[in-house]
Each structure stands twice: as structure tokens, then as C-alpha cells.
Amino acid sequence: MPADTSAQGQSGPAPSNTPDPIEAQEVAERRSGWRTIRKVAPYLWPDDKPWVKQRVVIALGMLALAKVIAVTTPFFYREAVNILSGEGTSPAWMFGAGAVAITVVYGLTRVMNVGFQQLRDAVFARVAQRALRQLALETFQHIHALSLRYHITRKTGGLSRIIERGVKGVEFLLRFLLFSIGPLILELALTGIILAVVFDINYLFVLAVTIAAYVWFTFKVTEWRVRIRKEMNDQDTDANQKAVDSLLNFETVKYFGAETREARRYDASMEGYEAAALKTSYSLAALNFGQSLIITGGLVAVMVMAAMGVQSGDLTVGDFVMVNAYMIQITMPLNFLGTVYREIRQALVDMGEMFDLLEQPQEVRDAPDAKPLQVEGGNVRLENVVFGYEPSRPILKGVDIDIPAGQTVAVVGSSGSGKSTIGRLMFRFYDVGDGRITIDGQDLRDVTQESLHARIGVVPQDTVLFNDTIFYNIAYGRDGASRDEVEAAAKAAQVHDFILSLPEGYETAVGERGLKLSGGEKQRVGIARTLLKDPPILVLDEATSALDTDTEMEIQAELKAMGEGRTVLTIAHRLSTIVDADRIVVLEKGEVVEEGTHDALLEQDGRYAQLWHRQANEDEAA
């Protein structure tokens, strides 16, 4: 007897309600696509730009006119064929024109069709370019508004590709969504109506079935191809990230003889791209063959019906030719439907990634009632400041530091004690978790970031320069600075004579990140740039720790002169550079453990004294 399977059926696993991951992804992509269309729509119909609306309306009018001309063109073809075959005479609406004249009119209608399409594109071009430019600008501004936390974790190569593909997708989406899908639907509808009215409802039925089968097949296969294309894009992004990262670290690659290793990493990414690209090619071949099979089947069915009508005497040869003309006319745009649909889907995906970027929240925002920072003296206070880059790992644990106006206060401590974090909080790259930071009694969270950044100058450990001229990099300190002001800042930074000794002087290009200059030269350019900014508050974030001892001693004089009359926070690793500070604050594990002058701290023989003696012994050994 067969075994009883009822128990197994009862004890088997219950049907899973877990959604299919691929289906869930498709639903998410569709939602993202509609979100993207909703976000792009205002750029086509802005309330404050009536000229944009006018151009859109005119372009749509040109589009409708072109399509009406397109669907009437085969009528002229039919009449010319009927006259030439002896099955008809010139219709009354042609005022007795012969076959030659009708053929000329047929040619003119085709030219008018193309002309109105090109005029439509010319009218709409400014709308598309304006939308592209505005979105690119908004994306660029938003990226600069994101927090330092985001920029530390981002990958430059991948980010640039997201922006590039997203911005390119804007124009494509606007142009093809309006001028490919819309016109195709209009042309198919008009053609169907003409076939039903002039010939028979059966023609419309065959056309509708053919188009439905064609669209269903195209969309199904294209959805599959979009997933493959996304995989190809991911591989492309990964390869680009590795290439950019490797080139940015060119010297490091050379130091470790890692050219072959880098090539292997890059090739591994390109191998994945190659595999995805091959899938794309194979699936395209399958799509093209399937589309051709369906459309040819519909074409043959309609032509057989027309041929039977001619044989029975119900239709003329001209009617047969006109039916053929209509089918070929709609076949051409249908052949591009798969490509256009795929590209629109891809543009929606690319733009979706860009809009995801635009929706990245700004961690640090101006308060609604934020006012410009007013600096009278420049007194900076940290009051019980608590902060951590991650909630589970606090960096600063209730730090109190007072920097009186016009004084220099140095913050020292071992690595990881939170020294540089204080500088980032002062510039408001991050907001404090608890406590507050004030300048002349004004909480930094209550003032505008623009005014705060204008009042604080920073000289970092490694000055990064733009890939431009020395003049441009110094002048970057203050927008609109004159030549004399730039040169005065360079003289104050003791870099003017060096610049003049160069063959191209101030027009010398510094290379990517300033790599054509030495560390000391870059730092002096950075000092000149900050001097030109002329801020009342100065943060020196280990400004000389990356330099050799001789260069450091030379630059210390410029830094000291720079700090005169300003409130200065010096974050130092080498203690010999801050012995003249008005007060020294010693941090350990995010807490202030000592503070006082250099001599007083040495007398205490505490943590500062340990650091001092250790560095002195290291210097002697060196």
C-alpha cells in the first residue's frame, strides 16, 4: 500500500509570505521611477518661468502637427498609385492634379513631417538644457552642503559617476519620454482609427493584437535586460572607483611596487563588467529577433487581408500600398521601443541614484532663526562638550576650554585623545552631542555657517591645493582679491620671493593636490591663502607636523606672526612648537587632565612633562 502522506502534508512548512527579492526590487524601482518623474516634472512646468511653459506647449504643438502630417502622408501615396495603375482618378480635394503632382505633394508632406520634428527639438532644446543645468547645480551645491562624515565615507570615483549618469539621464528622459513614447502612442492611435474607418475594424483588431504582443514582449525582455544593465553599471562604477583611487595614490603604488597588483584589481572589476556586457549583447539579440518575429507576423497578416481585398475587388492596389505604408511607418518607431524603453528605465535608475544623493540629509543645518556671527573680540569657549563620531564610541567627554580673545591656546595629547576633533567642531563640520561651543557668547548652532566659516581660518597639517596656478590658490582665500592683495599675503607668508624665482611666477601650475610643490612651499601658500582671508580666529591643526625640522622652524615664524592680534587654537603634536602659547591644554582619552603655561606644566611633572621628556629624548636620539 502506498505510504500515508497526510501527516507529512500537515507537518510540512507553511507557505511562505516572503516576497520574491527580484519582484520586490522591481516594485521599488518602479516607485523610484515614478518618484523621479514627479521630481523632474517641475523643471518642465515651473511656475516662475512662463517662457519654459510656452516652449513646452509650442514643442508639443509641433509634435502633434508632425504626427498628423505623418498619418495623412500615405493617402497621397495611395492616390498616386491608383492613378498610375488606372484604378482611379485624381480626387476632388487634389483639384485634378496628376500622379506626378501628387507624388511631389507626397514628398513635401514627408519633408514637412521631418521639418516640424526638428523644429520641435530646437524649441525644446533650451528647456532640456535649463533643466539639466539646474539639476546639476543643485546636486553640486547639495554635495558641498553634506557633512564631513559623508565625505569621509564616500568614494570619489563612484560619486562622480552617479552625478555624471544622473545629469545625462535628465536630458534623455525629458526628450524621449515626451518625444518618443508620447508621439508613438499618438501615431499608433491615429493609424488605428484610419485603418478602422477607411478599411475595416478587423485591420484595427490585428494591429492592436500585434502591438499588444510586441509591447508585452519588449517590456518583459527589457525588464530582464535592465537588471543586467544595472549589474553592468555596478561593475563599471567599481572599476572606475578602483582606477580613480589608484591614480590618486600614484606615489603609494610606486612606493610598494604595486603596479601589477593594481592592474589585477582593476582587471578583476573589468572582468565582471565584461561578463555583464556579454549578457547584455546576448539578450539584445534575443530581443531584436523576438520583436522582428512579432511585427513581421502582424505585417504579413494585415497585408494578406489587404491582398484578399484587392483580389475580391473591394480594395485597389493603392489601398494595398497604403496599408503597407502604414505598417512600415509604425514599424520603424516600434523597432526602437525596446531601446527607448530600456534607456528610459536606465535613465530613471541613474536619476534615481542622483535623487537619492539629493535626499541625503544635511547633518549640519542652519537653525531657522540663525543670525550672522558677530565677532567683537574672538573669545572661544567649549563648555562641557561631549561628542563621538559613533554614539557607542565617545571622543570628547565633557571638555571645558576657554580661549580668551587675542590669546593663543594650544591643545596637546596622545593620538586619539580628541585634539583635531575640537577643530572640526569649532568649524562646525559636526555638531556637539552635548554641551556647547560659543564665540563671544554666541552658540555656534545659533549662527549661520557661512558667517562662521568666514570668521575662522584653518591651516591644516597637509594643505591641499587646487590643480591651478599659485595665484589662483592664494586668491582663493578671499573672493575678488586684487593682485596687490594676493602679493601682500604671499610676502607676509615669506613665499613671494620663491614664487618670483619660478619661470612662470604666480602663473605657475601647482599640479593635482599641489604635488609640484614641496611640503614647505605648499604650507606657505596655504598660510598666504589664510592670511588673505584675514579671519579673527585661527585654528592651526598640526600645521607643521608633516614637515622636516628645518622647514618647521622656518614656518613657525610665519605662523607666530600670523597669530598676532587673533584668537588662536593650536592643535599640536610636536610640543616644541607651542612653548610660547599663553596656555596649554592637555587632553587624554577625551578629557582635560592638565592646563597651564609650558613652565608651569613642567613643574607639575604630570602628563605634559612625560610627553615633553619623551619627545626630547627622541630628538636627542635622532
User: Both 461 and 533 in a single domain?
Assistant: yes
Kindly report, residue by residue over 395-438, the tens digit of the pLDDT: 899 899 999 999 999 999 888 788 888 988 998 888 888 999 99
Chosen domain end from 306, 323, 358: 358
User: Both 220 and 260 in a single domain?
Assistant: yes
Q: Given CA atoms 202, 203, 208, 211 in this order, what sign does their dihedral have? A: positive
Angle among Cα 342, 298, 296 to the nearest 5 degrees reads 70
Kindly report, residue by residue over 487-510, the tens digit of the pLDDT: 998 988 888 888 999 888 899 888
Residue 118 dihedral angles phi and psi, to the nearest 5°: -70, -35
Which whole number is the average pLDDT over 41-62? 81
User: In Å, what is the CA distance from 318 to each residue of 84, 88, 309, 314, 323?
Assistant: 9, 9, 12, 12, 9
Chosen domain end from 296, 326, 358: 358
293 CB-near residues (< 8 Å, 6+ apart): none
User: Both 417 and 508 in a single domain?
Assistant: yes
Chosen domain end from 328, 358, 388: 358
Kindly report, residue by residue over 336-357, the tens digit of the pLDDT: 766 677 677 777 777 777 777 7
User: Both 475 and 351 in a single domain?
Assistant: no
Establish if 6 belongs to a structural domain. no
> 292 near 237, Cβ under 8 Å?
no
User: Both 195 and 70 in a single domain?
Assistant: yes
Which whole number is the average pLDDT over 40-46? 73
Can you tell me the distance from the alpha carbon of 193 to that of 326, in angstroms, rounded to the nearest whole number?
Answer: 12
Can you tell me the distance from the alpha carbon of 398 to that of 387, in angstroms, rounded to the nearest whole number?
Answer: 8
Whether pLDDT at 174 is above 80: no
What does the pLDDT read at residue 153?
A: 59
Establish if 333 belongs to a structural domain. yes
Establish if 340 belongs to a structural domain. yes
Per-residue confidence band for 385, with pLDDT thresholds at 50, 70 and 90: very high
The total number of structural domains that make up the chain: 2
Establish if 30 belongs to a structural domain. no
User: Both 352 and 476 in a single domain?
Assistant: no
Establish if 177 belongs to a structural domain. yes
Can you tell me the distance from the alpha carbon of 390 to that of 292, in angstroms, rounded to the nearest whole number?
Answer: 58
Render 4-50 in DSSP notation, one character per residue: P-HHHHHHSPPPP-PPPHHHHHHHHHHHHHHHHHHHHHHHHS-TT-H
User: Both 340 and 418 in a single domain?
Assistant: no
Mean pLDDT over the full length of the chain: 80
User: Both 322 and 440 in a single domain?
Assistant: no
> 328 near 161, Cβ under 8 Å?
no
State percent of the chain over pLDDT 90.
13
Supply the range of the domain harboring residue 166.
36-358
Render 305-350 in DSSP notation, one character per residue: HHHHHHHHTSS-HHHHHHHHHHHHHHHHHHHTHHHHHHHHHHHHHH
Predicted model pTM: 0.62
Output the domain CATH number for residue 256: 1.20.1560.10
Kindly report, residue by residue over 80-94, the tens digit of the pLDDT: 887 777 765 555 555
